[in-house]
Structure 1
Amino acid sequence: MLLRRWREFLEPAVVILAGVLAVVMFGVVLYSRGRAAEPARSAPPAVVPPSPPAQIPIPLPSLTPSPSFAPIDSITIERVPVPDTVDLDAEGTIDWVHWGENGRFSLERDADGGFAILEGTPSLPRNRHTASPQRFNWTGGAPLARASGVTSGVSTCGKGNGFTVSAPAGTDSSTLTVYVGATAARGDLHIELSTGKEFDSSWEVRDTSMATSAYVISYQASRTGKISVEWITGASFDAKCGGVALQAATLS
């Protein structure tokens, strides 16, 4: 009796369970077929960053060499009053010379000047004078080492007579100062660079007492050479002894 009732309950349960399993299996099969029919999804395209724009070269200014200027021949001159006292070794940083302290052919100069300033061959007439209204001082000289209050110099008489002084010239600017005098005469100044430049000037003194002046000559040459300065009696106004004089020169 009991077994019969158990079967009454068990058989319907088995049938229901089998139906549920059949439905589940059917669903699994359908799902599997649907997945197989779907096209494969492709991976998203890789994002490639845009290429940077081509660098445009920036033109740089070309380095043009500075123009070089060839040195030229030049002479500038100024005639100035002579100071009451002239310190030759302070002014002549390269060389200095004084004439006439120990006689008409004597020449006192910078012991360390290297004979930069030279006088041309002396000519007659040539006299020693002590008529300079200014005073010249120096130290470090030869053959006279030291002197102060010097008023001496050398002089000449008559038209065409005078003195010549020279100094080195180069591409650097130099200054030659020449201390001269005149008595009843016209002094003619002629300056010449050996490299091709000339300059002329004149100064007239009618008085029979000596007048003095300084010619400051700034010059530059296009190449190594020399400068020559002639101080000549261009005209004499005194038959006795009208002429020119030379006291000193400095180079700096």
Structure 2
Amino acid sequence: DGDVEVHAFRAAGYLPEALMNFLALLGWSPGGGREKFTPAELVEAFSLDRLNKANAKFDRQKLLAFNTDAAAEADQARLVEGFKDYLDLNDTPIGADDGVLLAELVRVNAGFRTFADIVAKCGVLFVADDAFDYDPKAFKKVLTRAEGVGYAMLAEMRPRLAECEWTAEALEAMLEGVCLAKEVGMAKVAQPIRVAVAGRAVSPPIAETLLMLGKESTLARIDRCLAMRADRPD
């Protein structure tokens, strides 16, 4: 892979403690099969007689696994700190100054591999309502196939969303009520909305997605999507 600066991994969204743990094991083995250490534990366990003579292999997938585990084990304050650092180092649509928002983004993206995953999934929620593209595969699969059943659901949900109180509880209750009344799973109701407002079939849970986006932008994006129907083949 060539030489890579440590700073590049920080800018790519890795936690320093995960990278330190991974790098320590490239040329040293603690014995006993253990791999996960805090920085303090590495200092305590290190000894020269456990250095490896063989050339080390830089396994990026293993580093990614280390970072995923470190993120899952870190407390929210540490993750918010790390996410803010990542945003400060990168040009993204998500601002770094709102700690409450960053905490919510970390929470709804539990299980992320690097901080870049959060931006990849949620960045679209922070751009102008007409400044994102639709994933063609998601658009066709969710909205236009089967004679536009997804579009029909989206059109039906638009006035319901317009009348709904904009809280997680109210949104979840309304969506669940539609599912019960129509005897369908949540995906049949939520996915057309998700594709309309995020341009893709993957986002945080639908109520959290809509809350972060806000009611005005949610309705504007749905209107934009509905207006595109005539321009899209079934």
TM-score normalized by structure 1?
0.20
Larger Rg belongs to: 1
Structure with larger RCO (C-alpha < 8 A, sep 6+) = 1
TM-score normalized by structure 2?
0.22
Q: Give 1 or 2: higher strand fraction.
A: 1
Q: Give 1 or 2: higher helix fraction.
A: 2
